[in-house]
Chain A
Amino acid sequence: MKAEKFYSEGSHNWFIVYDQSEARVIDSNVYAVQIDESTLLCDPGGFEVFPQVFSALVDMVPPSSITAAFVSHQDPDIASSLPLWNACGADIVWHTSALWVGFIRHYGALEANIQGIADEGGEIVVGSGRLQLIPAHYLHSSGNFNLYDAAAKVLFSGDIGAALLPPGHQPFVERRNIDSPEAFDAHIKHAEFFHRRWMPSNTAKRAWCDRVSSLDIDFLCPQHGAIYTGKNVERFIEWFDGLEVGCASN
């Protein structure tokens, strides 16, 4: 896997680990935000790809700086690496929906410090930064959150915005000619099935679009696929708002 820094301002940095080389499990991105000397992982990934994620990430941040992990929901591609991260850092504080605490302990590490997030959301403190937990329930999981960093204008959106891209993909949706929707249109074809099939609720989707439209977002970062930047953020929210979801037929 590759690691890249995509936001940096003083001691505040965001990193993406992307393009995994194991094709038998769904390709996933892992994000890390480092503020001062503390690092928080966003959806730290699956058990099988942990070695790849770890060795790519430690080029960017020292492992001793990892103090917290945010788990957007309970899926194995997101959190089944929990016992391995816990073995590498027993002090890591885990944050996930209160609904899923007892479930994700099934991945192992019964002794891990897992904090349940209330349905209405809240805040996580990382170094001198405060990150907002934005409710995104039923998109797709019944207990589901996004993470918003207002200072960096980064929204970590979990499965929202996900695209199933071929191996060797780039970390960003093509942005060289951002005024033209051409690249976005090509990218979103890889996202359509995912959103129609995995997102169960049009009501939840509309509520999310309303909520995030009021946020100032430079980077919309999904757990699968590529980061939306600049105008592609607006394009995505508009596209998602207009998409009929919760449908198992083609």
Chain B
Amino acid sequence: MSHLSLEEMRSGFLGIADATFEFQRNLKRRLREIDRKALNAQVLVRRHGQELAGYGVVARSFRDGAQRLQQAAMQLQHAIHPLMLGFMETLRDSHQAEQLQRLSVAVRERAPQLNETLRRHQHMLEMRSDQSRHATLRLSHMLKRVEHIVTELEYVVINGRIEAALKTDVRTALTQVSADMNKAVIQVRQLLREYAASIGRVLP
């Protein structure tokens, strides 16, 4: 983060806040869709009884995966919090330090406590930078977790397609449900990719 100026970081963090808001809003919508598709699949399975028991497992896994994704997204939101708080504290402290740094060296020499205060500010900024590094690591860990759940969902979709191909009687209906699920997961993957890219621009 240190290669960026405060000005660049400020605009980057505001971008992250906006991107987080958009990501969470869109993800909620997609997860609702996923839940509906999985429910449709479960209804179809119930209608055909034992014959589609295998697909029932797929539909249930899909729904469970969507719920886990929702929980992970909430944790991701919580992981953004300390990062945002830390940066805004840095912004506040830098603003204070800037006021003092504007004073000429001659003035500062006549009031030695000013230099002491500036040193304290610098120390505080370094501490916050450390905290930000920890918060960034945690965020990156949470992002990986979300990605992992999406990968699991993709795997469930593949299994669903195989199951659908094996059931000749209801193949058309199952293929449609599987295609819907596939589309929903692709959209989530795309959302996640865009969000991770917007974070990566500020927090490499």
Within 8 A of A (CB), among B48-98: 77, 81, 84-86, 88-89, 91-92, 95
Query: B10 at interface (Cβ–Cβ under 8 A)?
Result: yes
Q: How far is the CA of A83 from the CA of B96 in the complex (A)?
A: 11
Within 8 A of B (CB), among A23-66: 47-48, 50-52, 54-55, 58-59, 61-64
A59 & B77 in contact (Cβ 8 Å cutoff)? yes
Within 8 A of B (CB), among A64-122: 64, 83-84, 87-89, 108
A108 & B95 in contact (Cβ 8 Å cutoff)? yes
Q: How far is the CA of A154 from the CA of B92 in the complex (A)?
A: 31
Neighbouring A residues of B92 by C-beta, 8 Å: 47-48, 50-51, 84
Within 8 A of A (CB), among B135-194: none
User: Which has the most chain A C-beta neighbours within 10 Å: B22, B77, B92?
Assistant: B92
How distant is B1 from chain A, measured CB to nearest CB, in Å? Answer: 17
B91 & A58 in contact (Cβ 8 Å cutoff)? no
Per-position 1/0 for B1-39, Cβ under 8 A of A: 000000000100010011011100000000000000000
Q: How far is the CA of A14 from the CA of B10 in the complex (A)?
A: 26
Contact partner of B88 among A62, A64, A84, CB < 8 A?
A84
Q: How far is the CA of A51 from the CA of B18 in the complex (A)?
A: 16
How distant is B60 from chain A, measured CB to nearest CB, in Å? Answer: 32
How distant is B61 from chain A, measured CB to nearest CB, in Å? Answer: 31
B88 & A63 in contact (Cβ 8 Å cutoff)? no
Neighbouring A residues of B88 by C-beta, 8 Å: 50-51, 54-55, 84
> A50-B88, A62-B21, A63-B17 given as contacts; is B81 within 8 A of A55 (CB)?
yes
B10 & A51 in contact (Cβ 8 Å cutoff)? no
How distant is B159 from chain A, measured CB to nearest CB, in Å? Answer: 36
Q: How far is the CA of A64 from the CA of B198 in the complex (A)?
A: 15
Q: Which residue of B lies closest to A53 (CB)?
A: B88
Count of chain B residues with Cβ under 8 Å from any Cβ of A? 17
How distant is B194 from chain A, measured CB to nearest CB, in Å? Answer: 15
B17 & A84 in contact (Cβ 8 Å cutoff)? no
A52 & B14 in contact (Cβ 8 Å cutoff)? no
Neighbouring B residues of A54 by C-beta, 8 Å: 84-85, 88
Neighbouring A residues of B21 by C-beta, 8 Å: 58, 61-62
B10 & A88 in contact (Cβ 8 Å cutoff)? yes
Q: Which residue of A lies closest to B21 (CB)?
A: A62
Neighbouring A residues of B89 by C-beta, 8 Å: 51
Neighbouring B residues of A63 by C-beta, 8 Å: 14, 17-18
Q: How far is the CA of A108 from the CA of B89 in the complex (A)?
A: 17
How distant is A84 from chain B, measured CB to nearest CB, in Å? Answer: 6
Q: How far is the CA of A52 from the CA of B82 in the complex (A)?
A: 10
Neighbouring B residues of A59 by C-beta, 8 Å: 77, 81
Contact partner of B95 among A62, A64, A84, CB < 8 A?
A84
Q: How far is the CA of A188 from the CA of B198 in the complex (A)?
A: 48
> A83-B95, A108-B95 given as contacts; is B17 within 8 A of A62 (CB)?
yes
Contact partner of A52 among B18, B85, B91, CB < 8 A?
B85
B17 & A51 in contact (Cβ 8 Å cutoff)? no
Q: How far is the CA of A87 from the CA of B10 in the complex (A)?
A: 8
Neighbouring B residues of A89 by C-beta, 8 Å: 14
Contact partner of A62 among B10, B18, B84, CB < 8 A?
B18
Neighbouring B residues of A64 by C-beta, 8 Å: 14, 18
How distant is A247 from chain B, measured CB to nearest CB, in Å? Answer: 37
Q: How far is the CA of A25 from the CA of B169 in the complex (A)?
A: 71
How distant is A109 from chain B, measured CB to nearest CB, in Å? Answer: 10
Q: How far is the CA of A51 from the CA of B81 in the complex (A)?
A: 10
Q: How far is the CA of A187 from the CA of B86 in the complex (A)?
A: 34
Neighbouring A residues of B17 by C-beta, 8 Å: 58, 62-63
Pairs A–B under 8 Å by Cβ, sample size 6:
A51-B92, A54-B84, A55-B88, A84-B92, A87-B10, A88-B10
Chain A residues in the interface with B (C-beta under 8 A): 47-48, 50-52, 54-55, 58-59, 61-64, 83-84, 87-89, 108
Chain B residues in the interface with A (C-beta under 8 A): 10, 14, 17-18, 20-22, 77, 81, 84-86, 88-89, 91-92, 95
Q: Which 7 A-B pairs have the closest CB atoms?
A: A51-B88, A62-B21, A55-B84, A58-B17, A55-B85, A51-B89, A62-B18
